[in-house]
Amino acid sequence: MDALPPRIQGLVVTSEGDRTRMQLQEIPSEQLPPGDVVIRVAYSSINYKDALATQGHPGIVKRLPHVPGIDAAGIVERSQDARYRPGDQVIVTGYDLGQGRWGAWAELISVPADWIVPLPSGLDLREAMILGTAGFTAAQCVLALQRNEVTPGDGRLVVTGATGGVGSLSVRILAQLGYEVAAVTGKAHLADRLRSAGAVEILDREAVADASDRPMLSARWAGGVDCVGGRPLMTLLRSTKYGGAVAACGLVAGAELHMTVYPFLLRGVSLCGVASADCPYARRVKIWQLLAGEWKPRDLADFWVTEIGLEQVPTYVDRMLQGKADGRIIVRLPGAPAAS
């Protein structure tokens, strides 16, 4: 078995007193965690969870120093598992990558074989990371609506946080499947972007931030995807029509729900929690096949994406923490194949 390079580049988060610091460093490859498969990372991405990891968030990072990066698409470097051979193109998202285990903001990752999804036909490595956990989560949200029999004929859906990664991809996938989508954003200057993604209506975030204590609001939506939590989620649940469903996958606007159960008991509204990291493997593979096939955004290669190198990650993490990031931010590593 070929030896690994003695050192690899990676972004390492360390602690300095009560603060954290992130630096591009040379990491001894012997510090990689034990795993069945070593993968040379071609692309990763920046997710909100990654941004929190750079701050040493205790709910995400178990110990410092730490390498963030919950998404990886790359090429198998070496394998102790017969399912994978050097040269195989693969995806790893979720599980403990970039949390309890050093993540993909480094040239190599070492992971259990059971975490790996073979790159499905229909996607290249770059496209896989334009989707990444954001697209995977968006697809789970759409599946949750479908499981609750929310159809395009039932009426308009609403997507909050629509300029973020999950939100923008949810708008695109839903629109391609024939749903009418209202997109909620606090970034009015990106309205044209949302329309090009398929939204038929653009709403300011205040339109779904009802602060009253009314247990129910006028029934407006057939359902929705909520990427922010807090008051917007409460507003959506109270204004969803009979039999509708809301898929919830974010908490940047708040982690608590202060509301009654009336929408669930009187309108039969369903609240569908979406969790990506521990999605069962068989379902995970099915979702990636959908994203590589009929659910793949038609313009994915150019879809609302900013591509950066490892050295630019700290700047874009700061933008995300300040609420100034939009679309998808993918990270190209030195192991990325040359453009064809």
pLDDT given for residue 118 in this prediction: 98
pLDDT in tens, 35-72: 999 999 999 999 999 999 999 998 899 899 999 999 99
Q: Encoding tokens for residue 271?
A: 């609240």
Q: What is the DSSP secondary structure assignment for residue 307, as one 8-state letter?
A: E
What pLDDT was estimated at residue 62?
Answer: 87
Question: What share of the chain in percent tops pLDDT 70?
Answer: 99
CATH of domain 7-119+304-332: 3.90.180.10
Query: pLDDT confidence of 2, banded at 50, 70, 90?
Result: low
Per-residue pLDDT at 339? 61
Express each pLDDT in 179-201 by its tens digit: 999 999 999 999 999 999 999 99
What b/e readout covers 61-85, taking b as 16+ CB neighbours within 10 angstroms? beeebbbbbbbbbbbbbbbeeeebe
* Peptide bond preceding 65 in cis form (omega within 30 of 0): yes
The domain limits of the chain are: 7-119+304-332, 134-273
CA distance 29 to 264: 52
Q: HSE of 246 in the Cβ direction (CA atoms, 13 Å)?
A: 29
- Give pLDDT tens digits for 170-179: 999 999 999 9
Question: pLDDT at residue 323 above 60?
Answer: yes
Q: Tell me what pLDDT residue 338 has.
A: 75
Q: Which CATH superfamily is domain 134-273 in?
A: NAD(P)-binding Rossmann-like Domain (3.40.50.720)
Report pLDDT for 302: 80
Look at residue 337 in the predicted model and tell me its pLDDT: 83
Which pLDDT does position 324 carry in this prediction? Answer: 92
How far is the C-alpha of 165 from the C-alpha of 326, rounded, in Å?
Answer: 7
| The dihedral formed by the CA atoms of 79, 308, 170 and 276, expressed in degrees to the nearest 10 | 40
CA-to-CA distance for 328 and 131, rounded, in angstroms? 8
Secondary structure of residue 89 in the 3-state scheme: strand
**What is the structure's pLDDT at 1?**
54
Contacts 24+ apart (CB under 8 A), 18-23: 20/54, 20/55, 20/56, 20/64, 22/54, 22/313, 22/314, 22/317
How far from 166 is each of 21, 39, 131, 256, CA to CA, in Å?
27, 26, 9, 20
Structure-model confidence comparison of residues 303 and 240, the more confident one? 240
pLDDT value, residue 18: 83
% of the chain with per-residue pLDDT over 90: 92
Cα separation, 60 vs 285, in Å, equals: 25
Give the largest CA-CA distance in the chain.
Answer: 65
Helix (H), strand (E) at residue 159? strand 157-159
Assess whether pLDDT exceeds 60 at residue 100: yes
Evaluate the CA torsion angle 10, 325, 285, 198 in order and state its sign: negative
What pLDDT is attached to residue 29? Answer: 92
Strand partners, 12: 23
pLDDT, averaged across the chain: 95
Return the closest-CA partner of residue 32 out of 57, 8, 64, 58: 8
Across the range 284-298, mean pLDDT stands at: 97
Q: Count Cβ atoms below 10 Å from residue 214 Cβ, excluding itself.
A: 11
